[in-house]
Structure 1
Amino acid sequence: MRKKIEIIQIGGKKLDFPSEVIEKFNYVILPGNYNFISDNEQVEIFQENKFNPQKSRTIFVLGNDAILLQNFPSLLEQFPAYQVLFDSKASIKESQRKILDRKFSIPIDLENEDELQNIVDIALNSSQKQYGYKLSMDYLEVRESFKGAYRKKGNCYLELSGDFGQEMKQIISWKIHPHGIEANSKVTFTPEIAITSGTVELEFKIFLIDQSTNEIINIFKGSPEEFRKQIKIISNESDYVRFVGVSLYAKGGVGKIEIGQIHFRNHLSNNSMMLPNGKRIIDSKVRNEELFYYFHPGDLKPPLAVYFSGYRSAEGFEGRGMMGRMGCPFILIGDPRLEGGNFYVGSDVLEHEVVKVIKEKLKWLGFTNEELILSGLSMGTFGSLYYAADLEPAAVIIGKPLANIGSIAMNERIRRPEMWGTSLDMIMHFGGKANNDIAEKLNEKFWNKFETGTFKSTIFAIAYMKDDDYDGIAFQMIADKLRKNSPEAVILHKGLIGRHNDNTLGVNTWFIKQYRNILCHDFGRKLDYRL
């Protein structure tokens, strides 16, 4: 049986949640002057003056007489970000208010019953698992009634051009997807799509379909922009899983459109993506494709640690638990494009926004680039190294480096036959074709960027596979470039025997060890062996 979501209220009057809501939560109310040290109620919010990590998903509500609003800043600053709500009418000591602000705590009128739903929404969001999937390009079918031209670019996108007529007609359908939508749940629908010429109007229809009868239960209509902005939400209010079908309709005369991946994801309030307060960067130049990012202020002390997710078919962020246990502020960055990511490169708009987000969070924290760590594993190593040229961080911590995306694709035929065809889609995505010339240009894109970096005081901690079948020359090239262009940079490295995926445990262990050492020796943090 799934553990109930926990809401702990400290001070104030008992909240009058409806009975059906109470059934979903473990609701505990404590007096405003509750002694967290003696912990007579054994709620164990703190253990030896340290916040209990098992309460990291708990929602906390501070009433107007909560002593934490006036005293004990060392305790308040340990509460989790985004998960503290406080009485908006309470008198709050200025030092405590600053802590609440830095933890993105939420003011709420606890006497207003309508606002209680905010607590419920936040609790439900924090308990949801990351869940999302995309419909494979193999599911896509162009309708025979469309008389224009169309061309499929691998599994990157489909290009359609021609006369779409003056009446809204179906041009594409996607096969019914067996994953569907879970019972009593809501999902968002996000298409990668762009009109590249003409004044074409587009409309999607999402069909909820009964599993046993194939009967259409409900239809959700909306423009790509309405779905992207979450103006339209798809809900399955039944007690059964519903299959899902998708169709695209168009009108508007002569034009051209491009259609990439289409995504279904759990719906979270406040337009959050995958995690509560997860955000997205939209590439307005390339089919409105996206990257995700999630910022957590941690203990507000240096460094800011940025972790780029590895290649993953399941949509969402990677490394939240690991980064959270470090205690410092962190950013998770994820790439939901293609089958499981596209190495964090895109148009100048997308790449500029990645750098902008990191710099904005550094400024908000009051840190410099000398208090920044970039990190990642496998695909995440590319993002760490690529954006290091812009940010010149204190450290780059990576495992199984991949730098030559073009070479990865070219290795698909001989060194890694039919193991990772998505590497060919990366070349297609970059240049519109899949050939050696474009592959070489994609390699050059990385090295031209990396060589612009000035790494006078950067530590590069790199674990690599000696027989890597994806990019066997990445480590040596990185080391050679650094010795030539940035001889002041420190290179810590360890080579492990095997191919790219042969010793993930060994790489991860070394990766975490380097994080632990740098946090301790360069930033004066105490070692936490839970990492």
Structure 2
Amino acid sequence: MKILQIGQTDLRSEVKLEQSTKWEFWEVEQIAEFLVPYNLPKKPARFNFAAVIFTSTVPAESLKMLQKFLQAYRVVILAGVQLPELVARYSAWQVTQEQLPHFVKDIERDFFLSQYGDNAAIESVEVARSFQGDIKYRGRHQLELTGDFGTEFKPIATFKRGFYISEKNSIELWPVFEKSAAIELKFVVRLAHVGDIEIQKTLEFSKAQLDEPLILEGLDGNATATVSIWAKGQGTLVLGNINNRLTRHQYGTLIMGGQRFADHKRQEFFYYFDPGNLKPPLTVYFAGWQPRTGFEGYFMMKRLGHPFILFADPRLEGGSFYLGSAEYEAKIKAVIEESLAKLGFTNKELVLSGISMGTTGAIYYGSKIGARAVIVGKPLINLGTIALNNTLHRANEFDTALDLLLLQQGKNSAKAATEFDQRMLQALKNSQLTAGQVLAAYMREDDYDGTAFHDLVENLQADQVKVIGHGYTGRHNDASNKVIAWFLKQYELLLQEFERKGQDETDQR
């Protein structure tokens, strides 16, 4: 790990660093010299500092040179140092000199550069042989247990898959479950050294403690955690995935500054807001389907320079297309609207975007909120049809579609699929995308949703919304590089339009 300090006095001697941490100090007057290797036209050095600590003021010209390298939530400013632009643009942490040694320890623990998340599905759950009730699998991601669990706590199910905890990075677990009111739960976690079966530590978490993710610290050395569910009472218990990720404690979920939300059914989504240059538009990117949990498109959106929001959906396998309970959807809408208000923007200064699964989120919430534009690649509208297509058009290729139909509609049937299609189609018919435009690159032989682009054109009000499409030959997963290039080109043209508008307003003033 590397930490950069910029100031007048090197504070390295005031902090106790781990042996693997490199502390680099440069005086304010040396910033131009320091940046030379990072600005080389060929093979520039990688600016991979976990944090940049400012311990004195920096002239505006020097700050401008640094801006393209700094990342939000990785900037630290010593208390009393006046750098308001860094606070606004990079959501900088502010600490006193007395707090600095402890904060550096937090940097070493939580400011690592990568992200990691996955989930343990119920296919790895073993139900206790002593349980005499009914056992029912609901797709690949829900296990329903109904019966009498007894009057005393006893183990009901165990995840056979262990959760790895490195010596350096702690993890956090978020179990997904629903239960009858008469059932009481606790989760029991046992820790052992990697490669050893001897239990070193046992932790118990009650239902009240499960309202927040379970933070698991490692042992002296790498460890494995096993999770079992204990229950008592009568009724129905529905077990889902356990979402697992590296924790950053109070500094963010998955990435620095990342946030999480879970509804009353413990269904999660993640979001991240970056202030960028504080100038319109606010750009929003919904991550596509991915087997690992994490944010997508960070550097792509950061390079655009403007404020942006990232969304990620960790449910099922790869995501649940950003649809959920009324509470779940209202929160996604609120995140976008509150960010607009924070920036002083209107929805005419909003651009939503996504590719594949991310297009559903962009189109759906664009229709709910209204936006200047929605930019999508390989749009997916008819989510029920995608499930039906899994039998013939793409035999068993995308089983997530079946799990999604079951999660959202409660059953898998042709009737349920048709009703699920209406969820998006009704959003389009009632769209708030007045005076906006939808820019879509679609696959002409799309084997997931072959009518998505046609449905965009047919269901959006043609007199109010301009739909511009570009078709490519191939099935859904073909021509990805071409679609991404087209996607980025639309962003480039749209941002040029905003920049011209901003210049015109400046000239008028």
1:273 aligns with 2:257: no
TM-score with structure 2 length normalisation? 0.91
Amino acid in structure 2 at the alignment position of 1:25: T
1:411 aligns with 2:403: no
Distance of 2:475 and 2:207 partners within structure 1: 42
- Which residue matches 2:278? 300
- Which residue matches 1:27? 23
Provide Cα deviations, 1:129-169, integer angstroms capped at 9, x if missing partner. Answer: 11112112111122122233332211232222332222111
- Which residue matches 1:247? 228
SS in 2 for 1:16: helix
- Which residue matches 1:84? 75
Amino acid in structure 1 at the alignment position of 2:26: L
Aligned-residue offset at 1:124: 4.6
Tell me if the contact between 1:7 and 1:60 (Cα under 8 Å) persists in the aligned partners: yes
Distance of 2:52 and 2:467 partners within structure 1: 44
Provide Cα deviations, 1:102-123, integer angstroms capped at 9, x if missing partner. Answer: 531122111x1x5422234235
SS in 2 for 1:85: strand
Aligned-residue Cα RMSD (Å) equals: 2.5
1:141 aligns with 2:126: yes
- Which residue matches 2:415? 437
Distance of 2:321 and 2:432 partners within structure 1: 22
- Which residue matches 2:199? 216
Tell me if the contact between 2:446 and 2:476 (Cα under 8 Å) persists in the aligned partners: yes
Which of 103, 110, 116 is equivalent to 2:90? 103
Q: 1:56 to 1:384 in 2, by over 3 A?
A: farther
Q: 1:525 to 1:234 in 2, by over 3 A?
A: farther
Which of 231, 234, 247 is equivalent to 2:216? 234
Provide structure 1 residue ranges, at least 5 long, that are not aligned to the other structure.
527-531
Provide Cα deviations, 1:9-48, integer angstroms capped at 9, x if missing partner. Answer: 3234524355542x333312233x4253xx24x3449859
1:349-388 alignment to 2 at 5 Å?
349-388=327-366
Distance of 2:120 and 2:38 partners within structure 1: 44
Aligned-residue offset at 1:382: 0.5
Provide Cα deviations, 1:299-337, integer angstroms capped at 9, x if missing partner. Answer: 111111100000011001111111111111110000000
- Which residue matches 1:7? 4
- Which residue matches 1:165? 150
Aligned-residue offset at 1:56: 6.5
Q: 1:30 to 1:57 in 2, by over 3 A?
A: closer
Matched residues, number: 498
Tell me if the contact between 2:406 and 2:412 (Cα under 8 Å) persists in the aligned partners: yes
- Which residue matches 1:529? none
Which of 451, 459, 463 is equivalent to 1:487? 463
Aligned-residue offset at 1:282: 1.1
Which of 233, 244, 250 is equivalent to 1:264? 244
Tell me if the contact between 1:10 and 1:60 (Cα under 8 Å) persists in the aligned partners: no
Q: Identity, % of aligned pairs?
A: 31
Distance of 2:49 and 2:440 partners within structure 1: 33
Aligned-residue offset at 1:250: 1.2
- Which residue matches 1:500? 476
Aligned-residue offset at 1:401: 0.6
Tell me if the contact between 2:286 and 2:354 (Cα under 8 Å) persists in the aligned partners: yes
Distance of 1:181 and 1:123 partners within structure 2: 16
Tell me if the contact between 2:116 and 2:294 (Cα under 8 Å) persists in the aligned partners: yes
Distance of 2:65 and 2:478 partners within structure 1: 44
TM-score with structure 1 length normalisation? 0.87
- Which residue matches 2:263? 283
Aligned-residue offset at 1:214: 2.8
Distance of 1:494 and 1:190 partners within structure 2: 41
Of stretches 515-524 and 207-216 in structure 1, the one that deviates more from structure 2 is 207-216
Tell me if the contact between 1:406 and 1:443 (Cα under 8 Å) persists in the aligned partners: yes
SS in 1 for 2:395: coil
SS in 1 for 2:322: coil
- Which residue matches 1:61? 53
Amino acid in structure 1 at the alignment position of 2:3: E
SS in 1 for 2:150: coil
Distance of 1:518 and 1:335 partners within structure 2: 27
SS in 1 for 2:284: strand
Q: 1:183 to 1:472 in 2, by over 3 A?
A: same
SS in 2 for 1:127: coil
Amino acid in structure 2 at the alignment position of 1:34: E
Tell me if the contact between 1:57 and 1:127 (Cα under 8 Å) persists in the aligned partners: no
Aligned-residue offset at 1:414: 0.9
Distance of 1:525 and 1:8 partners within structure 2: 38
Amino acid in structure 1 at the alignment position of 2:212: K
Distance of 2:64 and 2:71 partners within structure 1: 13
Q: 1:278 to 1:224 in 2, by over 3 A?
A: farther
SS in 2 for 1:302: coil
Amino acid in structure 2 at the alignment position of 1:131: Y
Distance of 1:454 and 1:263 partners within structure 2: 34
Provide structure 2 residue ranges, at least 5 long, that are not aligned to the other structure.
503-509
Amino acid in structure 2 at the alignment position of 1:244: A
Q: 1:503 to 1:283 in 2, by over 3 A?
A: same
SS in 2 for 1:188: strand
Which of 503, 511, 517 is equivalent to 2:493? 517
- Which residue matches 1:203? 186
Distance of 2:91 and 2:498 partners within structure 1: 28
- Which residue matches 2:430? 452
